[in-house]
Copies of this chain bind each other. A is one copy, B any other.
Amino acid sequence: MGGADIERLIALLARLPGLGPRSARRAALALLRQPQARMLPLAQAMEQAARSVRTCSTCGNLDTRDPCAICTDPGRDRGVVCVVETVGDLWALERAGVHRGVYQVLGGTLSALAGTGPDDLNLAPLLARLEAGGVREVILALGATVEGAATTHWLQDRLVGFDVPVSRVGQGLPMGGALDVLDDGTLAAALTARKIHS
C-alpha cells in the first residue's frame, strides 16, 4: 500500500510512545503530503539533535553542552540538588519553575522486576558533589510508585553519612503517579511541602 519506504516510515513512527499503528499512518500521510515543508525539516531536526545532544556528566540532563545549561547557570543554587528519575521529570519541574537549584537524574529506579540495582543508577556524580562540599540540601523527587518509594528509602539510607539534610517531596503526589504527567500546581505543592528526612 504505497511501497516499502512508506511501510518502513509507518513502522518506525508506530514505535514512538503515544503513536499506535493508526495514528502512525495518519502522521505518515501528513508528512508525505508535505515532504518539503514538513517531512524534511523534521528529519533534519532529528539528525541535528542526534548529533548535538549529549548527557550532562554532572547531572544526567540532556543538552547540547556538557555540563548542561542548568549546571552552568550562575543564577541557580548549586547547594540544593533535586534528585529525579528521568530527564522527563527534570523537564516537568523546569516547566513548573519551582526549583531554583540543580538536579541529579538517576536514570531509573531500583526495581527487582526490571533488574535495576544500585549500580544501574546514575548516582556517582551526586556522591562526588556531596564529597566536594557545598551541597546544603538534597531533595528526593522520585515518583510515588512502589519502585520510586523503595528508591527514596534506599537513597535516604545511602546519603545519611554525608551530614546533609535530605528532604523528599511528599504532599501532592497522587499515589501511583509518575512525576512528569502532573500539572505544574501539583508539582509546586509537592516541592513546597517537602519533608526533611535527616
Contact = CB atoms under 8 A, between A and B. Distances in A.
A160 interface: no
Interface string A118-154: 0000000000000000000000000000000000000
Contacts of A52: 3, 5
Q: What number of copies of this chain does the assembly contain? A: 2
Per DSSP, are chain A's interface residues mostly helix, strand or loop, or mixed? helix
B63 A3 contact: yes
A196 interface: no
A31 interface: yes
Contacts of A9: 45-46, 48-49
Nearest to A68: B2
A95 interface: yes
